[in-house]
């Protein structure tokens, strides 16, 4: 696996592979790779002939009081995992490479960017769509891989790639969970042992909603009340949002149907966690 540090190096390497007729897969990440990222890289390596994993802790998607400075960084372990799962190149640009002096162009998906996580984290999705646009423009991949855990991000990026006519197919891979059900996240390392137990309330709420839907319950008011009651059983957890939405528009729905997303975000101590399931 080769290390690419500049956009020029990335473009040159990708163009060479495209000239050889190889398909390109891109797995955008912020590093601190775990089994969830591993599943994205494996999927890319299965579908594509040349796989680039980008590793960039993107400052523009963090709010002023968020965890940019302390976001976990584990470069050596990330290189090992990416190579093992089949990445051909790891793109690790410096901040000045992605945002050179005077950079003044941002990409924003209006409306969608202010829902779910976008409502609690103003400006977050503008940072995500800007950096993903840069990565797609530089790498011009046939396919780009994202995890369902960031379901609102998926909705925003789907809309962006459609609206901006990117030829890239977005591939969404299932949530990967720890044995106890906790959705894997690079931020799980922030949790103390007690918080780790409290955090299980999120996946428990997701499972309760899935079980109700499997038994025929479709009404949002019942599903959301059940989820809230389940989360309330864990007093140390602070709900950010509990929503039943159309996954494409992120608009609330009254009845779960095909394409409905149940999504939850909550604070456990200082750590904000998310989880979701497609129901209906």
Which residues does the annotation mark as catalytic? 37
**Six-digit token pair at 77?**
């372990």
Query: Which spans in the chain are helix H?
Result: 7-19, 35-47, 75-85, 95-98, 117-120, 124-139, 151-163, 193-198, 200-214, 220-232
Nearer Cβ to ligand PAF (53/268):
53
Rounded to the nearest whole angstrom, what is the least distance from the CB of residue 168 to ligand PAF in the complex? Answer: 13
d(CA 250, CA 112): 7
Residues interacting with ligand PAF, by CB under 6 A? 28-30, 58, 61, 128, 131-132, 150, 153
Rounded to the nearest whole angstrom, what is the least distance from the CB of residue 22 to ligand PAF in the complex? Answer: 23
Q: How is residue 61 annotated by DSSP?
A: G
Nearer Cβ to ligand PAF (28/280):
28
Contacts of 273 (CB under 8 A, 6+ apart): 183, 185, 187, 188, 199, 202, 265, 266, 267
Rounded to the nearest whole angstrom, what is the least distance from the CB of residue 109 to ligand PAF in the complex? Answer: 14
Nearer Cβ to ligand PAF (58/148):
58
Nearer Cβ to ligand PAF (145/262):
145
Nearer Cβ to ligand PAF (132/155):
132
The distance of Cα 30 from the centroid of its chain, to the nearest Å, equals 10
Rounded to the nearest whole angstrom, what is the least distance from the CB of residue 228 to ligand PAF in the complex? Answer: 27
Closest CA to 142 of 279, 278, 18: 18
d(CA 44, CA 29): 13
Rounded to the nearest whole angstrom, what is the least distance from the CB of residue 208 to ligand PAF in the complex? Answer: 26
By CB atoms closer than 10 A (0-12, 13-18, 19+), residue 54 is buried
d(CA 220, CA 255): 5
d(CA 69, CA 4): 23
């Amino acid at each position: 696996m080769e290390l690419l540090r500049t956009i020029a190096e990335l473009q040159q390497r990708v163009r060479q592979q495209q000239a050889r007729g190889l398909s390109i897969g891109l797995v955008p990440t912020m590093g601190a790779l775990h089994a969830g990222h591993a599943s994205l890289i494996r999927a890319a390596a299965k579908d594509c002939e040349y796989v680039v994993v980008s590793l960039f802790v993107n400052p523009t998607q963090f709010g002023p009081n968020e965890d940019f400075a302390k976001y976990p960084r584990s470069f050596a372990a990330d290189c090992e995992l990416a190579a093992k799962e089949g990445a051909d190149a790891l793109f690790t640009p410096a901040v000045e490479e992605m945002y050179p002096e005077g950079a003044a162009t941002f990409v924003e998906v209006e409306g969608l960017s202010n829902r779910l996580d976008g409502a609690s984290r103003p400006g977050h999705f503008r940072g995500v769509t800007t950096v993903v646009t840069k990565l797609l423009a530089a790498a011009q991949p046939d396919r780009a891989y994202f995890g369902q855990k960031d379901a609102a991000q998926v909705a925003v990026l789907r809309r962006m790639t459609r609206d901006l006519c990117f030829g890239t197919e977005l591939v969404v891979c299932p949530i990967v969970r720890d044995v106890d059900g906790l959705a894997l996240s690079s931020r799980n390392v922030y949790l103390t042992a007690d918080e780790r137990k409290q955090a299980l309330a999120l996946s428990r709420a997701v499972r309760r909603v899935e079980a109700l839907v499997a038994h025929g319950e479709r009404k949002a008011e019942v599903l959301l009340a059940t989820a809230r009651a389940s989360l309330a059983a864990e007093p140390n957890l602070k709900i950010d949002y509990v929503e039943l939405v159309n996954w494409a528009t992120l608009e609330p729905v009254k009845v779960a149907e095909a394409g409905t997303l149940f999504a939850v975000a909550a604070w456990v101590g200082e750590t904000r966690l998310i989880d979701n399931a497609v129901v209906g």
